[in-house]
Structure 1
Amino acid sequence: MAAGRTRIALAIATLTVIWGTTWAVIRIGLEGIPPFTGVAARFAIAFLFLLALIRQRKIPLGKQPHEVKLWFLNGLLAFCLTYGAVYWAEQHITSGLAAVLFATFPLFVAILAHFLLPGEPLSFWKLTGTVLGFAGVAVIFSEDLTLVGGEKAYLAAGLALLAPPACAITSVAIKRWGKAIHPLSISGIPMGITAGVMSAAALAFESDRTVVLNTKSISALLYLAVMGTAVTFSLYYWLLRQVSATGLSLIAYMTPVVAVLVGTQFMDETMTPRTWAGSGLVVAGVALASLAARARKPA
């Protein structure tokens, strides 16, 4: 049991650290690669990476109930819609604002889980902790919350807000109906679907845009594809079998804190009183929501 808890803790830490860096890396990649093209390439590389693992491990595909349906749900909602919206939005809004908008994800998960997952009722303290965590993220990025850029900025913010409920729907659906599906199947095959759909979107909407491939854009693409997609989503869907959907969603609050810490260590940024206060709210919110969830479990 202790070993199991250690593996879970390491997996959560890995997700938090990697996803804490991806918002900024997406912005770097967008300097050379248009959004839909970037999403298509990212998920194509991740798909090939995981497909090699699936074949090497001889993992059966499409054998579990609802598996094919969940492939398409995950690919179209959690990957195509979410990343298409986020990539396009980050051309017109700051990565900080995008992170705050996505931080509504745990709220959507908590509400959906209350109705669809019998073991995850939405208690007062769980809701309080979830709202507190969101407030912390908003405080951290409070200086980035202004919309500059006119109508496109408002459209970008609106599109970015489509991502959290889309991800919440798929996470709760997979938690309820996909427990028997191998994590490499539920992550890898939808990535192939995403690569195909987003390639078509890129051809339709970005055929006249220039792709600049240099060391920076290629490095960003490879990091996002392998570490930020193939590795993280395989871990995420493995974790979804081990812990509650609501508890796992709280990672969305911790990743901005990691992003700030990375900035202070490697980009000469400073921790202001605002970021300290926001980080404290995040930690308090995550702790409160986690303790509330544990208190509901039978002894």
Structure 2
Amino acid sequence: MVLFNYIVMCLIFGTTFLAIKIGIDAGATPFFSAGIRFFLAGVILLGWMVCTKKARLSLLLRKEMFLTGIGLTFGVFAALYWAEQYVSSGIAAVLSATGPLMIMLIQSRVTRLSLSGTTLAGCLIGLLGVILLVLPGLTITYDKWWVLGCLAVVVGELFYAVGAVYSRHVIQHFQDTSPIALNAAQMVHGGLLLLIVSLFTENVHIGSMFADPRSSLSLLYLIFVGSMMGHTIFYWLVAKAGPVFPSTWLYISPLISLCLGVAFYGEPLSLLSLAGGITILSGIILVNLQSLRQLLDREPKVVRHIGK
């Protein structure tokens, strides 16, 4: 059951970038579609947790949920949705994989611990991968909006990294509250902030937006499969197998997204960009090498658990 859910989670997270791209290309406005996705997903999940008495509605009044929502939902997805107007879903997915590198750098800064040689090498390799990935847009056919889109994804991951580091403090502070409820509450706040930005920056025509079935189906998929099902499986896996094993989706899902975009949506991919994507993932593996070794040491226990 653990292995099956892990595969499902990787596939879900690997398809969400393409689903976003399809919705945007079909006419969905970036901030509104992102906002309605996370606001509704958060409301439904939190409502379910409150009804089952696993959380309280007053959780929404805590400033920690608002601050986490800025980092984990508002900042990262405002940038990602805007960027996918100009950047392919595969490139956006691979650039989003830089998040763990930033988390490591910020975490070391907060704890004032020096990075190991392997970790530092992984961060530098990841940076080289970003340069390789963006280089074709700078040298071959310069496109200002493509470059800005790539930079936006990276800036969004900086928001995500800060939010992830802060969320560890929040989870420790709310030890009696389910992580699913905490995630739902921050999605409500982040989604609401996205809707507020949309109100002042976008001219939303809901009727025409949902006239194209691609737009409405994309939104429904992202709400119920991407935001609710995907994250629920992730937290279930954390509870069953620990945090290291579920987090390895970061090595698999970007490549799934890259392949899906090229194979089924006709997205272009240069050899240099492909090399950049592989380099980024190699850097992530180096940064998390110690955690991966711990996972391999625990593998027999995980297999026995799966057998049950």
What is the TM-score with the length of structure 2 in the denominator?
A: 0.73
The aligned residue for residue 71 of structure 1 is 65
Distance in 2 (alpha carbons) for counterparts of 1:37 and 1:197: 10
Q: Any idea what the Cα deviations from partners look like across 1:150-200, whole Å, max 9, x if unmatched?
A: 3x4444333322211111111122223414241222111122212322222
2:82 to 66, 83, 88: 88
1:48 is aligned to 2:46:
no
Aligned residues: percent identity?
A: 25
1:212 to 190, 209, 214: 209
1:164 is aligned to 2:161:
no
The aligned residue for residue 114 of structure 1 is 108
Q: How does 1:60-209 map to 2 (within 5 A)?
A: 60-61=55-56, 68-116=62-110, 122-129=115-122, 131-132=124-125, 149-150=143-144, 152-179=145-172, 180=175, 181-207=177-203
Residue 284 (structure 1) shift: 5.3
Paired residue secondary structure (2:203): coil
Question: Which of 79-88 and 97-106 deviates more?
Answer: 97-106
The aligned residue for residue 3 of structure 1 is none
CA contact (8 A) 1:187 1:237 kept: no
Q: Any idea what the Cα deviations from partners look like across 1:87-128, whole Å, max 9, x if unmatched?
A: 11211233344234323211111112334469x973222343
CA contact (8 A) 1:43 1:191 kept: yes
CA contact (8 A) 1:253 1:282 kept: no
Paired residue secondary structure (2:56): coil
Residue 18 (structure 1) shift: 1.3
CA contact (8 A) 1:109 1:172 kept: yes
Distance in 2 (alpha carbons) for counterparts of 1:251 and 1:121: 27
Distance in 2 (alpha carbons) for counterparts of 1:280 and 1:160: 17
Distance in 1 (alpha carbons) for counterparts of 2:88 and 2:259: 18
Distance in 1 (alpha carbons) for counterparts of 2:122 and 2:190: 34
Distance in 2 (alpha carbons) for counterparts of 1:86 and 1:54: 28
Residue 220 (structure 1) shift: 0.6
1:233 is aligned to 2:231:
yes
Distance in 2 (alpha carbons) for counterparts of 1:39 and 1:200: 11
Residue 137 (structure 1) shift: 7.7
Aligned amino acid, residue 168 of structure 2: K
Distance in 1 (alpha carbons) for counterparts of 2:147 and 2:135: 17
Distance in 2 (alpha carbons) for counterparts of 1:113 and 1:12: 26
Distance in 2 (alpha carbons) for counterparts of 1:69 and 1:11: 33
Q: Which structure 1 segments of 5+ residues have no match?
A: 1-5
CA change 1:16–1:129 in 2 (3 A) is farther
Higher helix share: 2
CA contact (8 A) 1:29 1:220 kept: yes
Distance in 2 (alpha carbons) for counterparts of 1:145 and 1:228: 32
CA contact (8 A) 1:78 1:170 kept: yes
Distance in 1 (alpha carbons) for counterparts of 2:127 and 2:251: 7
Q: Which structure 2 segments of 5+ residues have no match?
A: 299-308
CA contact (8 A) 2:18 2:261 kept: no
Instruction: Kindly report the root-mean-square deviation, in angstroms, between the aligned alpha carbons of the 2 structures.
Output: 4.1
Paired residue secondary structure (1:54): helix
Distance in 1 (alpha carbons) for counterparts of 2:263 and 2:146: 30
Aligned amino acid, residue 197 of structure 1: L
Paired residue secondary structure (1:91): coil
Aligned amino acid, residue 183 of structure 1: P
